[in-house]
A = this chain, B = another copy of it.
Amino acid sequence: MSRVYNFSAGPAVLPEEVLQAAADEMMDYKGTGMSVMEMSHRSKPFEEIITEAEADLRDLMEIPDNYKVLFLQGGASQQFAAIPMNLMKNGVADYIITGQWAKKAAQEAEKYGKVNRIASSEDKVFSYIPDCSDLPIDDNADYVYICENNTIYGTKYKELPNTKGKILVADVSSCFLSEPVDVTKYGVIYGGVQKNIGPAGTVIVIIREDLIRDDVFPGTPTMLKYKTQADAKSLYNTPPAYGIYICGKVFKWLKKMGGLEAMKERNEKKAKLLYDFLDQSQLFKGTVVKEDRSLMNVPFVTGNEELDAKFVKEAKAAGLENLKGHRTVGGMRASIYNAMPYEGVEALVAFMKKFEEENL
């Protein structure tokens, strides 16, 4: 077995010890004589898996009792519909556009009500987070929507928007569990797990209880109604059981690593190594304004497309995988999620140094 350093934006690197434990338990989960994949979702062993996963997540994020934790399917893209379907009472919502995913979320919400795009950073290819201290929040807005970490563009809100008392809804897919979070500041925090937590196919929605309503948008599918899922504790139908099992193992790994404070330190240290190198490099350049830089996704360019392509190719040959940037930004992107070890970023920076010497 030879593992690479995998800088994929998602699905992405997972902790080796989690994968190893999953492999070890594949044929026989803890003496049950079966794989977790083969287990009834109504069985006692699976009930323990999902209950512990939720309890560990609540511990890690210090989720208050008046918030529900839902393990759902369909990814963030399905939540783009579920959120307005469930939360629009007045039929109005304010969206802050900081990248492709916020944009898509806003487009989808327009099917269900009036959408105000109250700020955007599209003028500069989403390379910054707009000033959100005094935005024109609609008096009737049912919520204010953000994508908190922008995977493609490498930006992150360092301060949450001033929503002037309105509910904040945040897609945290690419910064989930990367640092401590004050859940009470949000009405809904949600994200696909396939970047920082587990395998694709599970989306976690953390929602304040009073926002779970019965009088949703007419025609809302039962499966997309938060009330259905909350009442059934995510077991209205068969959940993505194996994915939830892997997420649970990652939660335990995070607790063992010291929790979200420790992850934040570790992530800052990794990001600093890469950003410090970029800031002094003659060849490579970060694409994001410094104060809005993500700890998770680091896009950079040489300014020369051919050289970018050469870099990605040679990096791959050196065991540094998936460094190609998104087509809308070009160049490179290193996603350095929780499970990326410091050594992976060291190896990347050492490779970049060598490449710079050879190609400048």
- Chain A: residues with Cβ within 8 Å of the partner, total of 71
> Does residue A115 face the partner (Cβ distance < 8 Å to B)?
no
In the bound complex, residues from chain B placing their C-beta under 8 Å from that of A246 are: 37
A234-269 interface (Cβ within 8 A of B): 236-243, 246
Report if A156 contacts B (CB, 8 A): no
* B112 and A219 within 8 A (CB): yes
Complex contact A221–B82 (CB within 8 A): yes
Contacts of A359 in B (CB 8 A): none
- Of the candidates B28, B38, B194, the one whose C-beta lies within 8 Å of that of A1 is B28
Whether a CB of chain B sits under 8 angstroms from the CB of A199 is yes
* CB neighbours of A171 from chain B (8 A): none
B10 touches A40 (CB 8 A): yes
A45 to chain B, nearest CB (A): 11
Nearest CB on B from A229, distance (A):
11
Do the beta carbons of A241 and B200 come within 8 Å of each other? yes
Copies in the complex: 2
Which secondary structure characterizes the binding site on chain A?
loop
CB atoms of B241 and A201 under 8 A apart: yes
Near B by CB (< 8 A), chain A positions 207-251 give 217-219, 221-224, 236-243, 246
Contact B219–A111 (Cβ < 8 Å): yes
B35 engages A19 (CB within 8 Å): yes
A33 at the interface (CB under 8 A from B): yes
Most chain B CB neighbours (cut-off 10 Å) among A16, A85, A200: A200
- CB of A332 to closest CB in B, whole Å: 15
Residues of A within 8 A of B (CB): 1-4, 6, 8-14, 16, 19-20, 22-24, 26-28, 31-35, 37-41, 43, 73-78, 80-82, 85, 108, 111-112, 192, 194, 198-202, 217-219, 221-224, 236-243, 246, 319, 321-322
